[in-house]
Amino acid sequence: MAAERARHVAFRVDSGTQLASGHLARCLTLARELALRGVRVEFLCRDLPGHLGARVTRAGYPVHLIPAAAAEPAASSVLLTRLGAEVLVVDHYGLDAAWERAQRAAVGRILAIDDVGRDHDCEVLLDQNFFGPVTSARYAGRLPAHASALLGPHFALLGREYAAARRTTVPRAGGARRVLIFYGASDVTDETSKALRALSSGELARLEVDVVVGPNHPGAAVVGALADARPRTTLHHELPSLAPLIAAADLVVGAGGATTLERLCLGRRSVVVTVAENQEPSTASLDQAGLLRWVGRAPSVSVEALREAILAELEAPRTTPGPELVDGYGAPRVAAALAAPRPAELRLQRAERADAGLLFLWRNEPLARAMSFDDAPISWERHLTWLERKLADRDVLLFIAFADGLPVGQLRLELTGEEAELSYAVDPQLRGLGFGTALVEQAIRQLGAPPPGGVRARVKAANTASRRIFEHCGWRADVTGADYTYRLGGRDR
């Protein structure tokens, strides 16, 4: 799935008074990931009322404005040809597969971001939304045969601060104390004021409330007056990230879309009022899965209905979470599809309880199971028990390997007497790029020198990729039936 590193990427996305800001926000997140890899980034945006081009320039990227009356696809084609970008990222409901085909003469590769299951002519398709069991099938027959599909919240475009905050954010216990309200940059129907009114009566009036108002909110003065009149209420305007406020909250009240994924990443429940039709299928799926409470579509939701939903959510029992739906590393995964990380950039970080979801996914991935000596699927509960035991064992060194901010695999060294046993796994998206070799080499660096009895690694005969890696690194092979045991150092056997 990963590709050669692009050097120049252009984004085609619009924003404005009548458009939600989520498309631009997630494009900026991906742009930051690419820029960190040394990729040159530029934006193409239509000159619409209330457009957020200034936010793009503040982030450090050039913005090329397309006149509001200019005709597509020609207007974008002219700009793209002049810019000479290798890759085009398009995030726009008004630009379809025919528009993408019209850009082929100007760019080599296209990454299309979608939420609604449309046809595309692209090399990579990203839909970060959750649709339950049908998530993986929504684009069947809608993409070219050569296209890769990045589907589901595993690829959610969240800023790096979310992965970092998730490692330090603890589950909220006890009674609710704090609520966050955020409905996006525009909030055309002023759902923010409804939420404030709902939280200003009865037992909800005791709660602390943070309110975030976007730059295109049509009733910012009304929201300000309601916030001033309500005790224990703090009003915030444009913020670099919502992560600190989400982490501090017991409950978030807001719209569907990308901010839903931010809340899930930090383990916070939410009461959702969808503000656009395209938010509804995913929101309904998350509601059905018990991951949020969906009240309805704006503007039909009343203050009283919202108040009752907030009360019900605050009183709902806390369920024991399973593997994380959103782990915060989605943006680096998507960036890797355009600019693959390099094994030379690999670094190791000691594993923690927060890495349970990553390790669980890698362990249960079909090929990883097929190459394991215990190929049965592992339950979440059994996995957690295993992880807690390994983390507590001083003779076990368990690492997560990162490159370009992306978790690329895991490495485990278990010391038994005078011998150490090595095992490793590489993320499926990054196989074949040299990370397996880099992990084996890093293992020896971590040990400093092989213990007196050496280091061994068991490999199935069918696992030709791992066998080649150990042989390339100079390990000796002992063959017993269908098993290979590779050794480094120690006594010959």
Residue 321 CA to chain centroid, in angstroms?
18
333 to each of 26, 45, 128, 336, 405, how far by Cα in Å?
14, 25, 11, 5, 9
**DSSP secondary structure string, 10-53?**
EEEE--BTTB-SHHHHHHHHHHHHHHHTT-EEEEEEE--TT--H
Distance CA(487)–CA(420), nearest Å, equals 10
Question: Dihedrals φ, ψ of 458, to 5°?
Answer: -90, 135
Residue spans per domain, the chain = 8-155, 160-315, 341-488
C-alpha to C-alpha distance for 470 and 252, rounded to whole angstroms: 50
The span from the CA of 222 to the CA of 343, in Å, is 53
Digit-by-digit pLDDT tens for the chain (493 residues) are 555 689 999 999 999 887 777 899 999 999 999 999 999 999 999 999 989 999 999 999 999 999 999 999 999 999 999 999 999 999 999 999 999 999 999 999 999 999 999 999 999 999 999 999 999 999 999 999 999 999 999 999 999 999 999 988 877 666 789 999 999 878 889 999 999 999 998 999 999 999 999 887 888 999 999 999 999 999 999 888 999 999 999 999 999 988 999 999 999 999 999 998 989 999 999 999 999 999 999 999 999 999 999 999 998 876 656 778 999 999 999 999 999 999 999 999 999 999 999 999 999 999 999 999 988 999 999 999 999 999 999 999 999 999 999 999 999 999 988 999 999 999 999 999 999 999 999 998 888 878 899 999 999 999 999 999 999 999 999 987 778 999 998 765 5
- Judge whether 413 and 397 are in contact, CB under 8 Å: yes
The pTM (predicted TM-score) of the whole model is 0.91
- At the top level of CATH, the class of 341-488 is alpha beta
> 160-315 in CATH: which number?
3.40.50.2000
Q: What angle do CA 350, 353, 355 make, to 5 degrees?
A: 70
Burial of 350 (0-12, 13-18, 19+ CB in 10 A): exposed
CATH topology of domain 8-155: Rossmann fold (3.40.50)
What's the CA gap between 225 and 211, in Å, rounded? 12
How many Å apart are CA 134 and CA 271, to the nearest integer?
24
From residue 236, how far is each of 24, 49, 167, 182, 478 by CA, in Å? 20, 23, 25, 10, 64
Judge whether 8-155 and 341-488 match in fold.
Answer: no
